Copies of this chain bind each other. A is one copy, B any other.
Amino acid sequence: MGFSEDNLKGFILALVSSLFIGASFIIKKKGLRRAAAASGVRAGIGGFSYLLEPLWWLGMITMIIGEVANFVAYAFAPAVLVTPLGALSIIVSAVLAQFILNEKLHQLGILGCVMCIAGSVVIVIHAPQEHPITSVQEICSMATQPAFLLYVASVIVLVFILIFHFAPQCGHSNVLVFTGICSLMGSLSVMSVKALGTALKLTFEGNNQLLYPETWFFVFIVATCVIMQMNYLNKALDTFNTAVVSPIYYVMFTSLTIIASVIMFKDWDGQSVGNIISEICGFIVVLSGTILLHTTTDFERSSSFRGSYASLPPALSARLCSGNGEFMKHDEENQLPAEAVCLQRQEMH
């Protein structure tokens, strides 16, 4: 129940991050629409005219600010607190879409938003306090404890099996393969991002950690994990519908990150059983809210387009960004009104 100053900072940063990431989708989408209206070619079809559109770049900058805030949040608060709050960016998007893009939010979508908020509040209230970390060596010793090494080894083995055995066989028919790879790698990304963030935080506080090879080792791990995660996330989104990938990815990624954090940072040590159960329930509620939001958005679309809704090819933008808000990025393509696309296509002929 302890809500330390560091937890508060991390919480506010996570909120700011969700605000920026959520808003960035809307700004980018508005930019894409404008670019499409000006040139008549959509990003999903292969046009690059949006690169000349200032709004799209503003969206990119907003997203980068959001991702940086998210990165810094991990330096202050436990991953058990920061990661599930990523779901709030979906709410920001959904609400802004209603006001700025005039997209109607389904009533059940509102219920999904309410649940995400209620679940987040429960998570925030029960977030554990972190043991203060004083050096990068301390993080290293946490990362090399047997339990966490076992976790890392299991993740690597699983990822190898998925990449070399399952991906060629059923990667394009089973959504769990690519999504599983990027969720597994994602949990390691967050752990290494947290290690690096803490090292940088200590450096800014005057306790220079850049002198130690451990810090640079974490830079390398962050880069490797994030690149792999992004690569397989793009494969998943290339192959399957966003509405299918997003909730599955969110569930797996967040669950694995929490497990990794609990093992490495011993987040739940000294917590009461009630606290831990409340936190898990809060997490389940946020997951349910996320699923509901995605399901109803999809339902709205498919019912209004009478089944003509098809998965659109992903745009370059998907490859340009990174971080935990990423599971939504293709929405900017998919949520463009089908009628607008038809009109544009007719105009082209």
Which of B3, B107, B274, B292 is the one whose CB lies under 8 Å from A108?
B292
- The proximity string for A residues 115-126 relative to B, scoring 1 for CB distances below 8 Å and 0 otherwise, is 100110110011
A203 touches B (CB below 8 Å): no
CB interface residues, A 280-294, toward B, < 8 Å? 281-282, 284-285, 288, 291-292
A111 touches B (CB below 8 Å): yes
Q: Enumerate chain B residues within 8 angstroms of A121, measured Cβ to Cβ.
A: 277-278, 281
A299 to chain B, nearest CB (A): 9
Contacts A126-B278, A274-B1, A278-B278 known; A285 to B111 CB distance under 8 Å?
no
- The proximity string for A residues 250-284 relative to B, scoring 1 for CB distances below 8 Å and 0 otherwise, is 00000000000000000000001010011001101
Chain A residue total in the interface (Cβ 8 A): 25
CB interface residues, A 51-104, toward B, < 8 Å? none
Do B111 and A291 touch across chains, with their CB atoms under 8 A apart?
yes
A344 touches B (CB below 8 Å): no
Q: Is the interface of A mostly helix, strand, loop or mixed?
A: helix
Do A122 and B278 touch across chains, with their CB atoms under 8 A apart?
yes
Number of copies: 2
Closest to A281 in B: B118
A322 touches B (CB below 8 Å): no
A115 CA to B281 CA in the complex, in Å? 9
Do B118 and A288 touch across chains, with their CB atoms under 8 A apart?
yes
Do A284 and B118 touch across chains, with their CB atoms under 8 A apart?
yes
Do A285 and B126 touch across chains, with their CB atoms under 8 A apart?
no
A295 touches B (CB below 8 Å): yes
Interface centre among A108, A282, A288 (most CB of B within 10 A): A288
CB interface residues, A 224-268, toward B, < 8 Å? none
A107 CA to B281 CA in the complex, in Å? 20
Do B125 and A277 touch across chains, with their CB atoms under 8 A apart?
yes
Interface centre among A3, A115, A121, A292 (most CB of B within 10 A): A115
18 A-B pairs within 8 Å (CB atoms) are namely A107-B295, A108-B108, A108-B292, A108-B295, A115-B115, A115-B284, A118-B288, A119-B281, A121-B277, A121-B278, A122-B278, A122-B281, A122-B282, A125-B274, A125-B278, A126-B278, A278-B278, A292-B292
Known: A114-B288, A121-B278, A281-B282. 8 other contacts (CB 8 A): A108-B292, A111-B288, A118-B284, A122-B282, A125-B277, A126-B274, A278-B278, A285-B285
